[in-house]
A and B are shown apart, each in its own frame.
Chain A
């Protein structure tokens, strides 16, 4: 593996006590909330592996609530996330999955959100020092670090969609860092993840949504300040 960026090692700026159990969890849940786009009516967070054993003491639930409230992981209001969630009427069902799964990183969580007739499930791992990797979005394999802004596009698996999306972004002056499209098992739909430098303009996102074969598109902001 090649060495990570400096601010991945010296960072993130975070609210204690644990980079993997607090900051990483807050980041994954923040990404889930942004991918969902609004406050969910129902939410379930499953802690796997080491997280299942130790989430209580680390306040991983507070971190998850803060993320699902849309609080940035650096936000000191994270300490009061339980009270804020009560006030906003956000109820989250926390579950522990104790069996270890050799296919998963020891610190993995699965977030399921529901509301407005929509469902989202995200599996993410807190891979150390607050760094995260979203590995699955609604059954589509992915690899999202949250370091950069990203555009997530769910689309029918037809030729030309990826070129259409990257063309719109390029025309809007957005530099594309990475682009990867993965099919789900059924093979008919795919999820395109485009990581970009800077914030993609709203108009570009609307243009992407208007493309034929595109089912949904959402902007995922960076979790890094």
Chain B
């Protein structure tokens, strides 16, 4: 089996020549690369999906509070919001779910890097919101939900091949930006079953997060990360809406990813996870850093 690709164009050509669907082909490729069978790959996708669902439930049930105090139960607040100003359940669930999972990550809980810990709420938040709103009979064992994960993975794999999925190397466009591209593509695939639409939605989404800095306060994966998971889940839903309306990205996905790489290379190291620029250098950011270096004297350690 030919498994090597480094662009969406190449991937989609391979898949078209193969005859299987994009997710089926991705599962077969994974089986080939890791020496297991397709069923084992699907079981592992199911296991990872279940871990995200557990984290999601935990983020709502136990308001998550981090040692730094920078994470303080935003998901529980969103969950309790009786009259959301935007009245769309897919939207509201996606934002709350993304935050819930990411708060569990910020507080040292068990999650799946999706594709990273800092961006871990976006893709599963979108998938579970879709499931709860649109297709309530889906579970982690449903091939359809697993297929959506495989589509998200295909998009992330192209980004990793052409650019990076690391905030330290490419800024937050490479983490939350990449996650939103993956999530929008997965939902576009659920909506249409068309791999080309998945990459179109991903291109639309990624264009809107180009240049996003990684400037975490005190170097902690909390501010802006946790709330950004909600914002970028929203970004993905905008891309989904555009794609559903037939709006095409003027710049194709592969070129957008190359642009992301070029921007990441141009970005100062101060804006790439070093906590030496942007929000990290605001008075508030510096106070949080001083508190961390003093061992968080104000925090009630649990």
Contact with B along A99-130 (1 / 0, CB 8 A): 01000011100000000000000000001111
A3, A13, A22: the one within 8 Å of B11 (CB)? A3
Interface size counted on chain A using CB atoms at 8 A: 46
In the complex, what residues of A have CB within 8 A of residue B41's CB?
6
**Least CB distance, B289 to chain A, in whole angstroms:** 8
Bound-complex Cα distance A6 to B118 (A): 19
Q: Which of A129-149 contact B (CB under 8 A)?
A: 129-130
Query: Contact at A54–B275, with CB atoms within 8 Å?
Result: yes
Bound-complex Cα distance A163 to B58 (A): 52
Query: Contact at A18–B168, with CB atoms within 8 Å?
Result: no
**Least CB distance, A20 to chain B, in whole angstroms:** 6
Interface size classification for chain B: 35 or more
Interface SS, A side: mixed
Query: Contact at B153–A9, with CB atoms within 8 Å?
Result: yes
**Least CB distance, A43 to chain B, in whole angstroms:** 22
Q: Which of A2-23 contact B (CB under 8 A)?
A: 2-23
B272 interface residue per 8 A CB criterion: yes
Bound-complex Cα distance A78 to B107 (A): 12
Interface SS, B side: helix
A198 interface residue per 8 A CB criterion: yes
Bound-complex Cα distance A7 to B152 (A): 11
B177 interface residue per 8 A CB criterion: no
Query: Contact at B108–A20, with CB atoms within 8 Å?
Result: no
**Least CB distance, A19 to chain B, in whole angstroms:** 4
In the complex, what residues of A have CB within 8 A of residue B79's CB?
none
Residue of A nearest to B71 (CB): A17
- Other A-B pairs, 20, CB within 8 Å; known A3-B5, A129-B160, A130-B116: A2-B4, A3-B4, A5-B157, A6-B26, A6-B150, A9-B153, A9-B182, A11-B48, A12-B112, A13-B48, A15-B108, A16-B106, A16-B109, A18-B116, A19-B116, A20-B273, A50-B272, A50-B274, A53-B275, A106-B274
Binding site for A on B (CB under 8 A): 3-6, 11, 26-27, 29-30, 33-35, 41, 44-45, 47-48, 51, 66, 68, 104-118, 120, 123, 149-150, 152-154, 156-158, 160-162, 164-169, 174, 182, 216, 218-222, 269, 272-276, 292-293
